[in-house]
Each structure stands twice: as C-alpha cells, then as structure tokens.
A and B are shown apart, each in its own frame.
Chain A
Amino acid sequence: MAQYKRLGGIMAITLATATGLTACGFGGSSGEESGGGTTLDLLVPSYSDATQGLWNDVIAGFEEENPDIDVNLQVESWDNLESVIATKIQGGDAPDIYNGGPFAGFAEDELLYPAEEVVSEDTLADFQPTFLENAQVGDTVYGLPFIASARALFVNDALLEEAGADVPTTWDELLESAKKVSELGGGVAGYGMPLGSEEAQAEAAVWLWGGGGSFGDADAITVDAPENLPGAEFIKTMIDEGATQADAGATDRSPLMDIFVQGKIGMQVGLPPTVGQIESDNPDLEYSVHPIPTEDGSPFTLGVADHLMAFQNDGDKQEAITAFLDYFYSPEVYVPWVQAEGFLPTTLSGSEELADEEALAPFLEVLPDAQFYPTTNPDWQATDSAFKALFGQLDSDKSAEDVLADIQAQVDAG
C-alpha cells in the first residue's frame, strides 16, 4: 500500500511537470459584454514600443464618437501572435478584429467577413489597387491592407569610400564591392546577409526573386524551380568568397542590423524603420539608401503588407466592426498612425499626404516595383516556416538544389 502511495505521488509530479509545456492550450476568455452596448475585441501585434499607446489613442477617439461600443485591446508580440490567434480560434474565442500577416488559412476555414461587408465603399476604394489584389482569396478581398513596407539597400558610405568600392546595382558589382569592403579587415563585413530563422524568407525573396525566380502564386508554391537556382547559387558564392559576415546561415536580421548601425557592415537590406533606428542609435553614421541590386540590375523590391481582418464569430457585430474600421481608415486617424510607426501607407490618400516625407522617399519610389509573398496561398504559412527552418543551410556543404528541394518537401508535407 505504502509503495503505491509513493508511486502515485511520483506519477503526480511527473504528470504535472511533463504536461507543463502542452498544458497551455486554452487562453482565458476575454471581457464580457458590458452595459448593453457592443464590445469589440481587437488583437494586434506590437510593431514598436509605441504601438499600444497609438491604439489606445485610436480607441479613445472612437469610443468618444460611438459611446455604445466598447473596444477591448490586446497587444501581443509578433513571436506569440500566431499561436495566440490559433489558440483563441480553437477555444471559440476569436477576436472581432485582428491585425496580422497571413490570412488565407482563416478565409479557407470560412472564419472571416469579406472586406466589402465590413468597410464602406469609400474606404474600400481608397486602397492602392496592387495591395487589394494581394489581399484576395479567389475573387474575394478578405484582408484590409494595413501598413506596408518595402526593402532597400542601406549602404555605409564611409566604408565603401575607404575601400574604394562603388554602390552596386547588379549582383556582380555587389560581390565586387562587398569583397573590397570585407578586405578592410578588423571584423568589417562587406554585405550583411541574415539567413537565420528570424526572417530568412525575406532575404530569400531578395535573392531568389532578384534573379528572376518566385515562390509561386495563390494556387501553387514553387520553391524548387529552376528559376530560383541562380539566386540560391549566388548566395553561396557570396558566402564562399567571403563577401558576407561569418555564419550567414544562422545570423538573425535584427542583431545584424544593429551591427550595420554600429558601422561594421558595408551594405545590408533594410526597412523604412531602419532609418529611424539609425537616427536614434547612431546619427553620425554616413549612409545612403539605394534600390536592391538584382542579377541584371532591373529595379525590384520586396513589398510586405500586413492586414486587418474581421472574424465572423456570432455574426452580430458587423455594424460595430464597420464603424470602427471606417473610423480607423479615415486619413486623420490612419496617417498619423502609420507615420508614427515609420511604415508606408496602403491607401491612396495616405500616400499623397506622405509624399513629401524625405525619409520615406526612397521607399515610396521603389513601391511600384514591389513584389509580394504569395500570402493568399493556403500553404504560405508552411512555406514561410520552411524557409525559416531550412534556408540557412545554404551556408553549409549542402547544394543549393538540395536546400530548395528540402524546403519544397516540407511545404508539400505541411
């Protein structure tokens, strides 16, 4: 008997600790309806330390105009966002409005309102057409383009001058300039290439698409395709010839950008907020922003748009959601929001208002040549994670063909 008691105790300890990891399957239920009005749950990621405050201002303004609607704000880090939303959906507790990246999976599962049902015609007509196209599943727009970013090449002018290198427009020029900068020594790297898990898909797009490839479209993901090979091969060339920082395969983007800001890297692909980061962390850095070099020098940028989307839930909050979204997309509310976060607007009226912003100019310039991830493909999520998990293996003995084939295999299995 005593023996069993002990065994039971140990089993209980084991159970408790062994399940610690998987036990977090259910989130708490969120706020209940209060005071007879409607409550909207808003789940958003944190773009910067200012995000929460910006949303609180929007909500305060909205609630003043619409006293019968309460808005509940929940801010999550990007790392957690997607598991939080999956958990909430699984627990039957989806938010009413959600700010995220990929949305095709939700549309497939018939969880979302089509965009035209949750914003007025005027609001819908104000979005940039290319962004709306990128927000469709089939012929229906489900995502409301929220903010956009584009990539450009940040160049450390001082290092390039010291090395006697020119700002490149083609891959061959990039290789040559980067090698010259690397040869300066002292830990300086010519080109900062972040293939680590943080955002490997972005660096992959910069190279594979810059060589004429693509990840596929809404119907099929085609990573393992001959037109993607030149880009992957050239990444290997850059690494093998010492044009990049050490251990490119496992270097994450944000820490590497910090090193660029410290002035130890010749060239690296960056985002609009990088301008603000340099401004605050190292304003003395002599740098300039240029279009991304491609194989043949033709202009191209990787555009990314995040989206707002409305979940159907019980289907009784459509009017309140419409009121909130129309309020948010009015230029007086929307433009300051985008501006404060340092991103690019997705509305026509927003672009007009920001046209004379000096810091954003190089990015607004390349925006017409933007290509997007195939986010409307239901397999995009699997593709994204396959790139994060496997693309860095280019920095190893593995051949470019094998790396692309492995990524394709993981996508097809997912």
Chain B
Amino acid sequence: MKDLLKALPWIGPAVALIATVVLFPVGLMFWNSTRDISQSGVDKGGVGLDNFAAVVGFDAFWPILGRTVVWVVVVVACTLVISLALAALLNKAFPGRRLVRMAVIVPWASSVVMTTLVVHYGLEPYFGIINSFLVDVGLIDTPEGYGWTRHAGTAFAWAMVVAVFVSLPFTTYTILAGLQTVPGETVEAARLDGANGVRTYLSVVLPQLRGAVSVAVLINIINVFNSLPILRVMTGSIPGYDADTVMTMIFKYMQNQRQIDLASALSVIAFLVVVAIVAVYVRFVRPLEEV
C-alpha cells in the first residue's frame, strides 16, 4: 500500500491518461448501448438490451459476422506468409538491401486512405489505370473496363489485397527483428548435421521466431478486425449489406442511419469479440512468453 502511494506520482499521469482516453470511452459506449438516443443525439431513456436484440435480429447480422471472420483470417494469414518470405529475403546480404528494406516501409509510411484511394481509382471503369491495362492486354472485352468496386465479391477481394499490402511492413519488420536474434551457430550446426535449406528453416529458424510471429499475429488480428477505411473506400458505393464487416456496419449505423444507440450496441459486441479472441490467443499461444 505504501509502495503504491510512493509510486503514484510516477504512474499517476499514465493512469489518468488511460482512464480518460480508454476507460471512459469504453464505459460511455456500454452506457450508450443501453439507451434510446434520437437521431439528433438526444438521450430518451434506457431500453435495457433492446438495442442488442435489434442488432442481432437484423437479417444481415450473421452473414456480416461470418464475413468479418473471413476478412480477419484471410488477411492475417496472407500477410504472415508473405512477410515470412520477405523477412527471410531481407535478412540475406545482397547489394541494395538497404534500399529494398526502405521500400518495404513505404506502405506503412503512407496514409491507408490514400493507398486505398489510389487502388480504388485504378479500378474505376472508364479511366482507372488497372482497368485500362486489363482492357489493353485483352483480358476484359468491354471498352470501359470492369466495375471491380461495384460488385460485392470483387470489391471485398480487392479490399483484402490492400489490407495485406498495408499490413506487410509492420509484420515483416517484426519478423526481421526476430530473425536477427536467431544465433548463427544454430543454423550452422543444422547445416553440419546435413539439413538442407528448407529443413533448416522449418525446424531450426521458424521455432525460434515463435515470439516475433505470435506478437505480429496478435496485433494484426486486432488491427485487421478493427479496420474501417479500406472497406469503406472499396465497398462504399455498393447497395445492401453484402460486403460489410462488423466495423463498416457500425459505421453505417452511426453515419448513415444515425442510430448511435445501435452503433454502440454493435461496438460492444465487436469489443467483446476482440477481447475473447485475444484472451483465447493469450491463453494458448502465450505470445509474450520467453522462448
């Protein structure tokens, strides 16, 4: 107790910061999810769990949840596989490695909305550069191109491509950092024992990357689950709810229908899902455990 009091001046600001920017909004979100809030933002009283019933009872709720799972699993899995390969490449000495390492950071350094918009415009019929290219090489036979972002399936797939692209730098660098802690002797020993390159990588290097990979995956899961801008730009003009994830649905409740109460209820659900995923992950993968 005395120790705590002594520590207070040092941890006080951090605690205050967490309370105001993390705990308070969370509390408010839970509170709003049980209120009836008018479209202009006036609180009309408590309604218990009615908002949750309305959100879960919405026809498209379960498809949206399913699509969110697909979104997270596919994006994180692709990101991880490509990042492992990239990190292995960047760990080798070759002329110009410094430049290539810099280039990998670029998607990270530029705004996600910008990156997505560039791809989105490229996919536009009539003037998009990707469409023009596909028309010129003869893969599309309508002269104005194909409306990639006008169909739920293709728009969602392209959104995944962009999501993987912007997730690569962080994941690659986390794994690259992990690779540099792998002692050279272990690899050398494997070689001496006659293991080939693939075998060495899978049996010796990869197990030692466990810490780096599991942290990267954890943070990617949270990030990708909560990603809004990419899907918002890519699938924004599509009617109906065939390309929505939980996050874009929260946004539609909030921005389009101005149902702050329903948006809060769905946010609470999303929040609980993330907490559950992280709890399970931490319990079984122990990402912060020493190797």
Contact = CB atoms under 8 A, between A and B. Distances in A.
Interface of A: 6-7, 9-23, 25, 79, 82-83, 85-90, 105-106, 108-109, 111, 185-187, 189, 195-198, 200, 245-247, 249-252, 255, 259, 262, 264, 381-382, 385, 388-393, 395, 413-414
Interface stretch (B1-9, B33-41, B87-95): B33-41
27 contacts: A10-B218, A15-B23, A17-B226, A18-B222, A18-B270, A18-B274, A21-B250, A21-B251, A22-B267, A82-B255, A85-B41, A105-B40, A187-B142, A196-B238, A196-B239, A197-B238, A198-B237, A200-B239, A246-B150, A250-B239, A262-B127, A264-B144, A385-B256, A389-B252, A391-B239, A392-B238, A414-B257
A13 B219 contact: yes
B291 interface: no
B255 to A, nearest CB: 6
A197 to B, nearest CB: 5
B236 A197 contact: yes
Contact of A19 (B25, B39, B218, B236): B25
A250 B151 contact: yes
B157 interface: no
Given A6-B288, A7-B282, A18-B270, A249 B150 contact: yes
Contacts, number: 169
Given A19-B25, A385-B257, A250 B147 contact: yes
A90 B37 contact: yes
A390 B256 contact: no
Contact of A382 (B40, B124, B257): B257
A247 B143 contact: no
- Residue with the highest number of chain B CB atoms closer than 10 Å, among A12, A19, A389, A414: A19
Contacts of A186: 143
A10 B288 contact: yes
A388 B256 contact: yes
A195 to B, nearest CB: 7
B273 to A, nearest CB: 9
B264 interface: yes
A13 B39 CA distance: 32
A382 B262 CA distance: 14
Interface in B206-253: 218-219, 222-223, 226, 228, 236-241, 247, 250-252
Listed from nearest, the 10 A-B pairs whose CB atoms lie closest are A392-B239, A90-B41, A187-B144, A247-B150, A250-B150, A247-B147, A196-B237, A187-B143, A23-B25, A89-B41
